[in-house]
Chains A and B, each alone.
Chain A
Amino acid sequence: MINLQPYADPKYFVLLLVALLPLMIGLYYGHRLRIYETIVSAAFITLMFTGAKWQQGVALIAYVVYQLLLVAGYARYRQTKNTTPVFVSVVALSILPLVIVKVTPALGPNQSLLGFLGISYLTFKAVQVLMELRDGTIKQLSLGMFLRFMLFMPVISSGPIDRYRRFAQDYEQVPTQSDYVAMLERAVWYLFLGFFYKFILGYVFGTLWLPRLAQAAMVHRGWLDLSPALGLYMYDYAMYLFFDFAGYSLFAVALSLVMGINTPMNFNRPFQAHNIKDFWNRWHMTLSFWFRDFIFMRVTFFIMKHKLIKNRIRISQVAYLINFLVMGFWHGVTWYYIVYGLFHAGAIIINDYWLRFKKKHRKQLPHNRWTEALAIFITFNVVCFSFLIFSGFLDTLWFK
């Protein structure tokens, strides 16, 4: 059986673009070929889960049906009532499969049968819809649109994470011819930038250099098993992580544009960030904004509203800790993902202290090109170090 992993090789792009050609012609002339689009999407999603991966395919179908029932049930309930316990239980049920999938490998040698490629991204989307139903910002939920949103093919496996209302609006509105041509222009540019990122730079950093540096770091062990090779590994891994994932995200955005949907961008020159807060506004943006809007802001809102903590600074610190801890656990239940989360919470809390200090002493502190360069340099190194934790390589180095 044929199996096609998204964006894995040139063949995939050729096949996908050929399959999308009728859709493109339709959009160019102002029509969205909905049925055709559904068939092509279904075919390519099926091909992701054929062969040895069929179990994942079954899990995906079961998962989507389950979320559909939850969301439809809650939307119906929300028409007439609105209580917190029901809302909390529905959200808990919605994230339950993801929790099981994430916790299972930490408990034993096996992966959960509920898992499939992309489960966490689908969970973000479903939870977001539930929260907006609760808030009343989504009033009418079309189940067809919900399915399209959940299973939007270009982004199904790894995002970017779109928002339901934004997506639905794009979907209902066919772009004008000149807008669509502009979208195609962006798509071509993103596609080729993505090739450069993922298949050239990602290959150099990830396939050519990373294994050698890993080997060197395993062999030359100094104090605490640290070594210059480990330092190089750290920077190389950070580059690999960025170019691989940014390349992937560019493909997803490009293909979305081809399908007439403005999926939001995921990266905005993250290594030029001036501080950690700035970094999270540039790195994996759709994820960090999701966390900001649905975890950080809600936690602070809750604490402030119920006056659980008086001190504003303390509130933000607690919210950051919760926010990044959840993000750490989301990556996986291992010590290094959790430490990675705590590390970023710590970094952002320290960064806030510094920002407040800077605000107070604005007059005395110099601000010029050099201080900016220093800020970027420090942020870059802190971020690269956090990625070294994230890579799990320290786990191999120290404990395996």
Chain B
Amino acid sequence: MPPDMAPDAAVEARTPPAAAEAKGRRPVPFRGGTFRPRAIPFAAPLVFLVLIGLWELGSRSGLISPIALPAPSEAIAAMGDLIETGMLWRHLEASLSRLVMGWTIGTVAGIVLGLAIGLFSLARAGLSPVVSALFPIPKIALLPLFIIWFGIGEGSKVATIVFGTFFPTVIATYGGVDSVDRTLIRMGQSFALSPLSIVRKIILPGALPAILSGARISASIAIILLVAAEMIGAEYGIGAYILLAGSLFALDQLIAGVAMLSIIGLTVAWLIGRAERALLDWRT
């Protein structure tokens, strides 16, 4: 209430005018429609097209120097070369196998440890500080050590991705377990559910939204780390292709490689979206 308003005036303002009351009930418009995202399928492609169109125009007109940024058409031509020579599939195959293997191992191990920390006090007290201590270490800084530990073959590349995805998954998982509604757990206990049942029927489904959004983040981290992972001894792979393009200052190839990473990112996000829809059906 504004301080300068007299108490009587405030009371008056709250009571509806006598005229409105006399007319009976006012029609109330439906206000529930907003704040609910609608699917607008053409919006995203349109934004992409306009951005790329402006970029191409800028390059063609000389506004954007070819040293600063190549025209999108050049990047598309570089992509065309990759498809034509068949190298695209070799690069994709190498990178996707590293991504899938590294992300799967990291995520599964992360969920297991995250659940352990979430469920058992001893694990929480003992291991969560270790996770906090190891999470912020840049995995790229450890590459020389990874060479010695895991060799310059697939081992060090997969390990980089495993380490990168493991820690965020641990944190997302035990955060998810912590945020499960305690009253639901108490209710399960009142109905004499076994601890295993409570974990299976209440805690796991309750933590799943957090675990899946953790998976979104860890998948993106895995793609980011792909370039770092392929710094060591990788002949094929999108990361290796981008590194080579960078060292050759072949900007068209660089942009083509980065675009490929974006496409992988979009695909992964779409897949996780499907998984969310299927697994979180109960949430309506």
Q: Do A and B bind each other?
A: no
